[in-house]
Amino acid sequence: MNIQMVDLRTQFEGIKEEVLSGFQSIFESGAFINGPMVKNFCESLSQYLQVAHTIPCANGTDALQAALMALNFSPGDEIITTPFTFIATAEVITLLGLKPVFVDIEPQTFNIDVRKIETAITPKTRCIMPVHLYGQCADMESILAIAEKHNLYVIEDNAQSIGATYTFSDGRKQMAGTMGHIGCTSFYPSKNLGAYGDAGAIFTNDDALAQALHMIVNHGQKEKYTSDVIGINSRLDSFQAVVLHAKLKKLPEYITARQAAAAFYDEAFTNIDALKIPFRSENSTHVFHQYTLITDLNRDDLRAHLSAHNVPSMVYYPFPLHLNKAFAYLNHKKGDFPVSEHMALQTISLPMHTELTPEQLKYISSTIISYCTKK
């Protein structure tokens, strides 16, 4: 059985005609960058997310960088974020001369622990950057309340949870990436809405921020050859927009397929003591960018067993950011963020994509269970 972490080849079959005919029309029109395809895709995405503005850019890392640039922070300003994420989240903070201030995660959702945010706030804090990890929203109601109380901005890193819905305690629903002042996403091929190359987008409901972001991703230009601010060059090409538009139409279907695969895994593992299945938060749907188990088994040994049976697995992320050499200058040490450190050692992510068949799911779960019940 050929099992992959992410199967983009099979998924392509379902969008092949639309993608190839879209590509053909780009070759014929010559509008390779920021053409009508890009505009159409952004309009559809804004509509899907119920957000006023979608600003396209070249990748998720640029989206985060542009968001920070748009808020006009000063060198040394502090940005609160999580150490249990992909490096990009904190990398752009440092790159802009700002200071990442890590706050540990809570053990059930792997998202920033809102009970620990306020003690990390100083007179230099300007912004909170939560990450909606693995497909589920952070506790946005609490984050927005803390931000309002302390007059802080909120930038959501929504690279992993596009399509997740958050429900506030008054019943109001909003989609991941549209609740903070700015939301950012990545369309890296393996993301839930993935291009066939690099791509990203920025979301906001604020007209002035939208205008600033459009300028920033285009060399700070409002009009051609007149730059008002220092910007970056970060554009979405038309080919990626065609792919993304075709996939956006299927995103609800893709999410349902991921949730069905997760439900299958849940059921298979629910009685296995050595495995803890993913927690479902009360306020957020889960779109399963990753299906991640917590285990106290020897993880390397388990992964070797899986690999020997042709079942791939991954660890997201084996080192929390504060223990990466790149952040050594922050002078953190082991033990500073114990929950993140624990999860870095005890989590394992299973194959998760839109094309998993019942036979594959059965094979993967029985391979895992055979290891767990071996002893």
Ligand X SMILES: *Cc1c(COP(=O)(O)O)cnc(C)c1O
The owner of tokens 């958050």 is 166
Residue 234 within binding range of ligand X, rule CB under 6 A: no
Query: Using CB under 6 A, which residues numbered 6 to 45 contact ligand X?
Result: none
CB 200 within 8 A of CB 58: yes
Residue 317 contacts ligand X per CB under 6 A: no
Query: Which residues, 6+ apart, have CB-to-CB distance to 163 below 8 Å?
Result: 175, 176, 192, 193, 251, 252, 255, 287
- Per rule CB under 6 A, is residue 186 in the interface with ligand X? yes
Site size for ligand X, by CB under 6 A?
15
* Binding region for ligand X (CB under 6 A) out of 83-91, 241-249, 270-278, 359-367: 83-91
Burial profile 277-290: b = 16 or more Cβ within 10 angstroms, e = fewer: bbeebebbbbbbbb
In the complex, least distance from residue 76 CB atom to ligand X, rounded to whole angstroms: 23
Of 54, 81, 82, 89, the one binding ligand X (CB under 6 A) is: 89
E-strand stretches of 104-253: 125-129, 153-157, 165-167, 173-175, 182-186, 200-204, 221-223, 226-227
- Integer Cα distance of 356 and 50 in angstroms: 30
Q: How far is the CB of 313 from ligand X (least distance, A)?
A: 18
Q: Which is nearer to ligand X, 89 or 240 (CB)?
A: 89
Could you say whether residue 131 binds ligand X (CB under 6 A)? yes
Residue 278 DSSP symbol: P
Length of the chain: 375
Instruction: Return d(Cα 84, Cα 102) in angstroms, integer.
Output: 9
Q: Is 60 in the site for ligand X (CB under 6 A)?
A: yes
Q: Does 61 bind ligand X (CB under 6 A)?
A: yes
Q: How far is the CB of 180 from ligand X (least distance, A)?
A: 14
> Contact between 160 and ligand X (CB under 6 A)?
yes
Given 85, 178, 192, 234, the residue binding ligand X (CB under 6 A):
85
Q: Which of 80, 112, 159, 162 binds ligand X (CB under 6 A)?
A: 159
User: What is the rounded distance in angstroms from the CA atom of residue 92 to the CA atom of residue 7?
Assistant: 30
Task: Tell me whether residue 269 or residue 327 sits nearer to ligand X (CB atom).
Answer: 327
- Positions touching ligand X (CB under 6 A) are 59-61, 85-86, 88-89, 131, 157, 159-160, 186, 188, 198, 200
